[in-house]
Amino acid sequence: MSTQWSPAFNKTYPDRLLQSVQELPPVDLFVTTADDKLEPPIITINTVLSLLALDYPSHKLACYVSDDGCSPLIFYALHEASKFAIHWVPFCKKYNVQIRAPFRYFCDEDNKCMTNNEEFRQEWSRMKDMYDNLSRKIDVDPNSIPNLLQGEYTVFSNTHRTDHPAIIKVIWENKEMVEDGLPHLIYISREKRPKQPHHFKAGAMNVLTRVSGLITNAPFILNVDCDMFVNNPKTVLHAMSILLDSKGEKEVAFAQCPQQFYATLKDDPFGNQLTILYKYLGAGLAGLQGIFYGGTNCFHRRKVIYGLFPDDVGKGNKLSDEELKQKFGASKQLRKSVVDTFEGKIYAPSDVIIVTKAVEEANQVAGYGYEYRTGWGKQVGWMYGSITEDVHTGLTMHEKGWRSELCTPDPIAFRGCAPIGGPTSMSQQKRWATGMLEIFFGKHCPIFGTIFGKLSFRQFLAYMWIINWGFNPVAQVCYASLTAYCIITNSNFLPKDWGIYIPTAVVVIYKIYNLYEYLDSGMSIRAWWNNQRMSIITPMNAGFCGFITILLKLLGISDTVFDITKKDIPPSNDDTHDKNAGRHTFDESLVFLPGTTILLLQLTAIFIKLFGFQPQGVLSGNYECGMAEILCSVYVIICYWPFLKGLFGTGKYGIPLTTICKGGILTCLFVCLCRKTVSV
């Protein structure tokens, strides 16, 4: 709650920026994808096309696409998308198109070609046909790609997603450096070898940083996930208004744009649209040291990524060549680009010819062994040690004394697709909970950042709140089990008589305030309830599995695994009317076992109470099970209504029989242990 006490909001004026800045700085655009099956190429190319069409001088932009799955299909899709971009980008800028991701532009009812302008109607129809043709082209069997790419495909021969050399291809180069042309488009797949650590997304981001440092070395970096398209073409100008501000130059490390989603389901049935989180918590953080780094939709200052402290701003390079080598590696060209970054030098247009010359050097810094005995991931770049590399990296910046800002232009800067379905959403939440606990048990724990660093106390509390995603599930599972235990053993843990009104009043007041936030944001009571329900379901399932994962890691039994969130091609319109769209789905993953067990446990406890199977006369009257424990158990059952339906559902809408059997065995074991404690 303390995080929300001093909210702050930024209002940016891009027109004033253009009046006060002599020349806009270059910006490197990073797009990351890792699996062409979980992240379909059609989603990735729409994100790339929206970035290529930004309202920003094209010769100041360079788009780097990191394909961590070494997929020829992704490369082929980008190759074809670049041909379409030659026509799409001028069309967007000529007619001031607002949404520049084609698959959203052509499906939006507001963008239907209803105008009387014959020239526009013809161009609109031509663009629509070209995009449909592009979609058909990339929806092909991967085995047919060699014939389509001919000689360019040979680099993908004999490669495997976890065993291949570095592949860097310049798909499009703005050789003439024209302002209204297409930005550079560069494909990167870093080297991977079996049993060699690659540090998941953080490793890919560091390779992008090094390769871009050799080619364009822009002072600012925008990173987006492959499913986050540009919703406001002036987004870069809004972010530069923050980062180029006289105060921002000395204090602000990054500008984070909030995540908002398209094709949203009515009333947020899975509780993952994060609307309230960004509106209230995000604004509150902006009034402290700044919002957390969210992993996507974020504008970074390159010199901060290179490890610069706020106190060293404007002092140029203070590192010797030996220190540069120790931190940044053996590449002389990379070390030179780092020095240029620290000293504020920007490549002149005549220097950008190195786009085609730097590939050989770039292949070196994209190798898996380049980071060995360097500071990458420890002192510079995206931080290693957690699968939530975004929060980890942002935390290290805040610990150094940097601030961050929330960038919220109107219309919103980016839109993406929220996970749909139980397994996908749970997998994502498990990864987050696991990563948060990795941060807590690492050397960049917020506690150390407050004691030994420059993390403010209230910012520390905010970080501990988000890291609590990993610890909170343990408390929730314990309380849910304790409620069932008290009913089964006819005992109590909640106060009786007037004492129960104190915790009840606290809970009711907080729930009413939380409901006010939803209503004030234009959301429904149903959306509020769905989020309340998922705040019980998600931690007890995904969060608890994340805690077990960390426990096994700390014991040296197993290591964490980065689960890629599946990106589904969403329906055409928001608020889909498909009656099954908001239904919870299940699979045989262990992530659903804790919740199934908790539900069976509560049902068993209520059954024992209703049919009088509780032990009698064991404890005195003051210690017998009261109505409060029963109401808590009933509340958990109501929250677990999707699981209750899943017990009787079929197909993907039903909990697998194996999971139900495992949950039943654990429930029987728990009841037996409860009975044993009573007899003892």
Query: Angle of helix 422-440 relative to helix 525-538, nearest 10 degrees?
Result: 60
**Cα–Cα distance for residue pair 413/297, rounded to 1 Å:** 8
Q: Are the beta carbons of 404 and 256 closer than 8 angstroms?
A: yes
**Cα–Cα distance for residue pair 257/238, rounded to 1 Å:** 10
What does the block give as tokens for 114? 């209803």
Query: Angle of helix 593-610 relative to helix 641-648, nearest 10 degrees?
Result: 90
Q: Within 10 Å of residue 617's Cβ, how many Cβ atoms?
A: 7
**Cα–Cα distance for residue pair 341/321, rounded to 1 Å:** 15
What does the block give as tokens for 373? 């005995």
Q: Pick the catalytic residue: 67, 68, 225, 267?
A: 68
Phi and psi, residue 6, nearest 5°: -130, 70
Q: Are the beta carbons of 542 and 427 closer than 8 angstroms?
A: yes
Q: Are the beta carbons of 103 and 46 closer than 8 angstroms?
A: yes
Q: How many angstroms separate the Cα of 113 from the Cα of each of 29, 98, 117?
A: 31, 14, 9
Mark whether 163 is an active-site residue: no
If 0-12 CB within 10 Å is exposed, 13-18 middle and 19+ buried, where does residue 493 land?
middle
What does the block give as tokens for 99? 């949404």
Mark whether 390 is an active-site residue: yes
Helix, strand, coil percentages for the chain (3-state, nearest 5):
55, 10, 40
Q: Are the beta carbons of 522 and 408 closer than 8 angstroms?
A: no
Q: Are the beta carbons of 81 and 205 closer than 8 angstroms?
A: no
Q: Are the beta carbons of 234 and 14 closer than 8 angstroms?
A: yes
Q: Are the beta carbons of 540 and 477 closer than 8 angstroms?
A: yes
Closest CA relative to residue 625, chosen from 462, 443, 453, 482: 482
DSSP string spanning 77-89? Answer: HHHHHHHHHHHHH
Q: Pick the catalytic residue: 36, 225, 268, 390?
A: 390
Phi and psi, residue 278, nearest 5°: -75, -35
Q: Are the beta carbons of 52 and 243 closer than 8 angstroms?
A: no
Q: Where are the beta strands (DSSP E) in 165-286?
A: 167-172, 184-189, 220-225, 229-230, 252-256
DSSP string spanning 400-419? Answer: TT-EEEE---SS-SEEB---
**Cα–Cα distance for residue pair 369/348, rounded to 1 Å:** 32
State the catalytic residues.
Answer: 68, 390
